[in-house]
Structure 1
Amino acid sequence: MSAVLNLPRATVADLLDRTPVLLPVPPGQDARRLRGFLMAMGLRVADCQPEIADCVDLCVQPASGAEMDTLVALLSPLVQSVVPMPDAALRDGLSLPDGLILPTLPVAVAERLSRRLRRVRHLSVLLSNSTDAVHDVFASETGLAGLSAHLRILGYHEDPQTGALAAGLDRHVAGHVMRRFPQARIIDRAFQRFDVVLARVNGPVSDDIADFLTSRTGWGRDRFDLVSPAMPLRIETGLLRASALRFRRDYAAIGLQTFLALSRPMPA
């Protein structure tokens, strides 16, 4: 490593004794090799990138059932005022499970565009800081060969709260995993949406609980008596991550055992 950094070994050893530490970044392939080496040693690595320090990612998510042709016609001039994008690409982006993401926009540009987009009905607009974004990795039920093992090697583990295969990836690790496993679904936490699904009711279903669940779902009491992990019941939809976790805690406090499921399911 001292050869890659062009520093004496004693200097490198001294630097690595500090946490955090700034290292001079070597060019090109050497930088990628150094990052991989440090991660293999169990160290977390974050690059300082001045070019995206004042940028945000913008995510556009259409509401369920939104008329796509109408949305594309409304959004096309707005998006193209910032990013050149054919209507076909715009439609494809809006159709993705996580919606259309416009990465690393200058803050002023993103805020101006988001204000204009929020005037469009049946649309959700979310922003995330490009440098500080935290990502989680999800996969379909069949999974991806080698993905879980690779994530464990990198020091990441499952998140029992959300069902993510790995939680808390920074922008660079997320990019690395995406390049190696392009079919994986890697989502910025700011853009994640979850449904809260009821799997079990602790004890008999009281009248108060039944009335509450009816108000949330529209179902009658007979359905609640059948709730089980094999026959779960969706009780909240489309919640952002923090809200979904809070709802799950609140439901647990009144004896309702739930789990979270991504609102926009994995593609088949």
Structure 2
Amino acid sequence: MTATLDSALGYDLFLTPPPLGAAITRRVVARHLGLDADSLLRHLATPGEPIRQGLPGTEATRLQSLLRATGWPATIRPARSAPAVDLSLQPAIWADLSRLSRRLSGLLGREAGSVLSALHRPGGLILPAGDPHHETVQTAARQGLPGLNLISADPATALYDLFPTRMLGPSERAAITRHLCAFETASGGLTGAVAEGLSAPLCQGAMAKLRNAGLIAVNRAFQRFELHLVAVSGWVGRDLADFLALRTGQPRARFEVISPTDPVVLDTALTHAVARQFCADYAAIGLFTRLHLRGLPRNAENPIR
């Protein structure tokens, strides 16, 4: 398995002259690239120029695989005009974290331990816009870096949510609420955030004001949630038990007792928008759920890690 290219980023596709035996597929290749055969030949006469520009990651990967299957060497590179973005490096659920952190350590010039710690944080290991390692990491991902997911976000339009990293007492919560009133923000009842939807300037101001409150600001684009089933309205009948068993891969007997202290993990690695929608969908059929931001320290409000 290989790394997932970020579909929000732009990629250029480069083609090099194929072996003589591949010429027979020229018309097929040209058609998939949206060209005629003569245009394809003219392109091959001007090496160094991309055959397709600004492709989403999924489309670039699809075309590269198709071209290679027909004997035409193709490479993918970040688009020359790609916008400046923050890049989040996050491990896949199945990733070998020790191996991944060692690989990234060499690419980033950091200690493997610090890389591993960063991968575990909410939002993952973040390379800000302009970081010189962007292209290095993306190139490694294209060439095959198992277990790595890349997520990008435009810092100019990013929204941030503030999460507590420890238990907050009633007086602390009240103080935070008073401070945040000046920023006209809402708390995140579903996600556990104490404030939601802050622009970068507002986020910086709020974090400066609350520097001792133990909060962490996480770009919404980089948030990934686990969804836990904590209660059921009424009895867990046969149909519902079958649905839950199919959904989770656990035996039907597991759903005889469900409580906030003994929940069932329904989903992992959900985006902010999908997590909120799933909560509403499950509630509509009598399943009560709780979201946990991946990477937050374990505490009474975030008990399962």
TM-score, scaled relative to structure 1 = 0.67
Structure 2 match to 1:223: 254
Show the counterpart of 2:141: 117
* The structure with more radius of gyration: 2
Q: Is the 8 A contact 1:139 1:266 kept in 2?
A: no
Deviation readout 1:216-251 (Å, 9 max, x if unpaired): 223333332322344332211121212212222222
Aligned pair count reads 211
- Paired residue secondary structure (1:234): strand
What's the counterpart of residue 243 of structure 1? 274
Aligned counterparts of 1:245 and 1:223: Cα–Cα separation in 2: 25
C-alpha offsets along residues 107-158 of structure 1, whole Å, 9 cap, x if unaligned?
Answer: x984774353363111221111111000111114512844333223322221
Cα distance change on mapping 1:260 and 1:95 into 2, 3 Å: closer
Q: Write the distance in 2 (CA, Å) between the matches of 1:177 and 1:65.
A: 36
Following the alignment from structure 2 to structure 1, what is the Cα–Cα distance between the partners of residues 137 and 151? 11
Give the corresponding residue for 2:225: 194
Is the partner of 1:98 in helix, strand or coil?
Answer: coil
1:71-110 equivalent positions in 2, closer than 5 A: 71-79=100-108, 85=110, 89-105=114-130, 110=134
Change (3 A) 1:109 1:67: closer
**TM-score when scaled to structure 2?**
0.60
Q: Match for 2:216: what amino acid? A: R
* Partner of residue 167, structure 1: 196
2:44 aligned residue: none
Counterpart CA distance in 2 for 1:132 and 1:222 is: 47
Residue of structure 1 equivalent to 2:168: 143
Q: After superposition, what is the alpha-carbon deviation per residue over 1:28-63, rounded to whole angstroms, capped at 9, x for unaligned?
A: xxxxxxxxxxxxxxxxxxxxxxxxxx4211011123
Distance change >3 Å, CA 217–CA 142, structure 1 → 2: same
Task: Give the SS at the match of 2:226.
Answer: strand
AA partner of residue 98 (structure 1) = G
- Alpha-carbon distance between aligned partners in 1 of 2:229 and 2:120, rounded to the nearest angstrom: 28
The answer for the alignment partner of 2:156 in structure 1 is 131
Residue in 2 aligned with 1:158?
187
Per-residue CA deviation, residues 191-219 of structure 1 (Å, 9 max, x unaligned), is: 11111111222232222211111122233
Report sequence identity in percent: 34
Moved more, 191-200 or 251-260: 251-260
Summarize the Cα distance change of 1:210–1:181 in structure 2 as closer, same or farther, 3 Å threshold: same
Structure 1 gap segments, 5+ residues each: 1-53
Classify 1:206/1:88 alpha carbon distance in 2 versus 1 (closer, same or farther; 3 Å).
closer
Contact 1:158-1:167 at 8 Å conserved across structures: yes
Q: 2:120 & 2:259 partners in 1: Cα distance?
A: 32
Distance 1:97 1:267, change over 3 A: farther
Structure 1 residue 74 displacement after superposition: 1.9
